[in-house]
Structure 1
Amino acid sequence: MHVRPGRPDRARPSGAAATAAFLCLALTALGAAPATAVQPLSPSPTLASPSGGSARSLGGPVVYAHRGASAYAPENTLESIDRAMALGFDWVENDVQRTRDGVLVVIHDDTLTRTTDVKRVFPDRGPWRVKDFTAAEIARLDAGSWFDKRFAGARVPTLREYMERVGRNRQRLLLELKEPEASPGIERQILDLLDELGWLDEPHVTRRLVVQSFSADSIRTVHALRPDLRTAFLGTPNVADLPRYAAFTDQINPQHTTISAGWVAAVHRLLGAHGKPMEVDTWIVDDAATARKVKEMGVDGIITNAPDVVRHAVGPLQAFG
């Protein structure tokens, strides 16, 4: 998403370790539920039951740590997803791009200038675009000091390194393809790596992984390559256009300032690519008042830089159906 993380307006609410442990156990139990078989696509979009809604919203929206807990640690780093884990959140979101030598790396901007010291290390390489540097060159950069000197030495992780840490942390991933048009074939490359790392088996594709993009064509490609994988389109399509997205995606993930309760209900009335009511995960919400507002609209998930603030506002129970 094209929003720079900011620090939350209110301090993180404290919580006992026992509470965090209970939440982790509850989430683990939910993740062990039998997966629902993939439904064949209909020739035309199918309407959901009049009630709409989603099992994910049971007890409150799912809270996603945007680029990790990026209000508290440098975005898209291993430190940021570790911070999310320490706060008790298993859903993290990231951004994936490709280097000059074809390596997948986790970084948001198409240039390295905002979140690394690339201008100091490579002063003559402007405009310092990610696609113009090799993975080895990017690995030399400090991706933490810009945020806070305490994080000096943090690196831009490769997607392989990132996935290994997510796996070790027993977390779940909302993976965003950044500007896939600039990297032809990146969808298959990402899926091949995920498959190699064991992330495309049934438990992962039904419980622990969603792939999203602002590019409808890219998400359509992902769906064609792996019809069993959950996908999401980033944006706010007109209600009249929603049915065509339902053919290849499961979620519509809009910016919170662009939606209404009526729009959310319109999404919920459609069955997505896997025969379930389509879902809405909104971004970027970092304050309690806005979190409560979008919860009242009926969203299924909230993507936030400050996941603890949002969870405190909307309730701790998270479900993934």
Structure 2
Amino acid sequence: MHARAVAATTTALLGALLLSPTSEVRAAGTHGRPSVVAHRAGAAYAPENTLPALDKAASLGFSWMENDVQRTKDGELVVIHDDSLRRTTDVERVFPGRAPWKVKDFTAAEIARLDAGSWFSPAYAGTRVPTLAQYMRRVERDHEKLLLEVKNPELYPGIERQTLKVLSDQGWLDHRHLADRLIVQSFSAGSVRTVHDLDPGITTALLGSPAVTDLPRCAGFADLINPSYGTLSAGYVSAVHAVRGPHGRPLKVFTWTIDDAARARTAAGYGVDGIITDKPDVVRTALTAA
């Protein structure tokens, strides 16, 4: 409803915003200091998407964690970024005859045998790939907020409903969590729409940079538009902010992946609402000093 109401006037407005010569010099404080999100729970400092990474980011004082969810052969949801186990586990050694080592081709019990820490550092030897349920319990224990990405939904039919079932079982779909502790995102617009349709109370985000003319349509099911830093401009951020989402609030922008001070300050100057980073301490220091 909101998207249809603003569609007629938004396109012209947004085009003007993108072309405005002054749009690139917005004050960093226009929308307040951006939230800092630990990408894969702070991938620069501990094995990504693992419980030790969560604990490390929490110990550094960060509130927002980002993770990735995929599904095993026998239907267990696990937290891992790649659709293959090769890069972040010892799967080639443990199961040498199982190339190409896709997550969807291994059972949860098989994945639980893998070392997901030694590739990063010997100090993390024996770290396991967590299930989503295990991960959610640790997020809750550490009093964190979660930006959860539904990864490769085309490989896992029904993963949206299953993910929400785990979140519900872990107590994360109550008002207290939905108010300001959970965002579910995906590169797939269809997946984001499915999550919104299943539970309209969930804050949702579409990864990528949809065309300005498509923003009103996206606003029917997404509360945030999360582009890569390489596609970012102040005009685009302003265009996104000019559209109201499914909950009647202006759309927000979380950008990724920024790991240095200069880009963090530039993104903040563009007016982004959040910065997703492997090095949250670097970004926090840059924003504090700006």
Structure 1: which 4+ aligned runs deviate by more than 4 Å? none
Pick aligned residue for 2:109 from 124, 132, 136: 136
Q: CA RMSD in A?
A: 2.1
Residue type matched to 1:142 in 2?
D
1:283 aligns with 2:256: yes
Out of 207, 215, 224, the residue aligned to residue 234 of structure 1 is 207
Q: What SS does the aligned partner of 2:253 have?
A: strand
Alpha carbons 2:31, 2:272 under 8 Å: kept: no
Q: Deviations over 1:252-301 (max 9, x none)?
A: 00000101100100000000111001000000000000000100011000
TM-score (normalised: structure 1): 0.82
Q: CA deviation at 1:175?
A: 0.2
* Aligned ranges 1:217-256 → 2 under 5 Å: 217-256=190-229
Return the offset for 1:42: 3.4
Q: What is the 5 A alignment of 1:31-42?
A: 41-42=1-2
Relative distance call for 1:131 and 1:45 in structure 2 (3 A) is farther
Q: CA deviation at 1:57?
A: 7.4
- Structure 1 CA distance, aligned partners of 2:119 and 2:176? 37
Could you say which residue in structure 1 is the equivalent of 2:52? 79
Task: Tell me, yes or no, if the aligned pair for 2:146 and 2:183 is still in contact at 8 Å.
Answer: yes
Q: For residue 58 of structure 1, report the CA deviation from its aligned partner.
A: 5.0
Work out the CA distance in 1 between the residues paired with 2:186 and 2:195: 10
Indicate how the Cα distance of structure 1 residues 43 and 237 shifts in structure 2: closer, same or farther if over 3 A, else same.
closer
Kept in 1, the 8 Å contact 2:71–2:78? The answer is yes
SS in 2 for 1:308: helix
Give the match for residue 78 of structure 2: 105
- The answer as to whether partners of 2:31 and 2:271 remain within 8 angstroms in 1 is no
Higher helix share: 2
1:269 aligns with 2:242: yes
1:196 positional shift: 1.0
Match of 2:19 in 1: none
106, 112, 119: which one aligns with 1:146? 119
The match for 1:44 is 4
Take 1:58 and 1:263, find their aligned partners in 2: how far apart are those partners? Answer: 15
Question: Contact 2:204–2:223 at 8 Å: present in 1 too?
Answer: yes
CA deviation vs aligned residue, 1:156-209 (integer Å, no higher than 9, x gap)? 000000000000001000000001011111100010111111100011112100
CA distance in 1, matches of 2:250, 2:66: 22
- One-letter code aligned to 2:183: V
Question: Deviations 1:82-134 (Å, cap 9, x if unpaired)?
Answer: 01101000100000000000000000000000000000000011110000000
Distance (Å, rounded) in 2 between the aligned partners of 1:259 and 1:304: 15
Aligned 8 A contact 1:254 1:283 in 2: yes
1: CA distance, partners of 2:179 / 2:33? 20
Map Cα deviations across residues 10-46 of structure 1 (whole Å, 9 max, x no partner). xxxxxxxxxxxxxxxxxxxxxxxxxxxxxxx436154
In structure 2, what is the Cα distance between the partners aligned to 1:42 and 1:145? Answer: 49
Whether contact under 8 Å (2:89, 2:119) holds in the other structure is: yes
Contact 1:282 1:301 in 2 (8 A): yes
Q: Residue in 1 aligned with 2:154?
A: 181
Determine the C-alpha separation between the residues in 1 that align with 2:30 and 2:119.
36
Conserved in 2, the CA contact under 8 Å of 1:76 and 1:94? Answer: yes
- How many Å separate the matches in 2 of 1:92 and 1:69? 8
Cross-structure match for 2:272: 299
Letter in 2 for 1:135: A
Asked if structure 2 preserves the Cα contact closer than 8 Å seen for 1:94 and 1:107, the reply is yes
Matches within 5 A, 1:153-172: 153-172=126-145
Is the Cα–Cα contact under 8 Å of residues 243 and 250 in structure 2 kept in the other structure? yes
Percent identity reads 61
Aligned to 1:214: 187
State whether residues 188 and 206 of structure 2, in contact with CA within 8 Å, keep that contact through their aligned partners in structure 1. yes
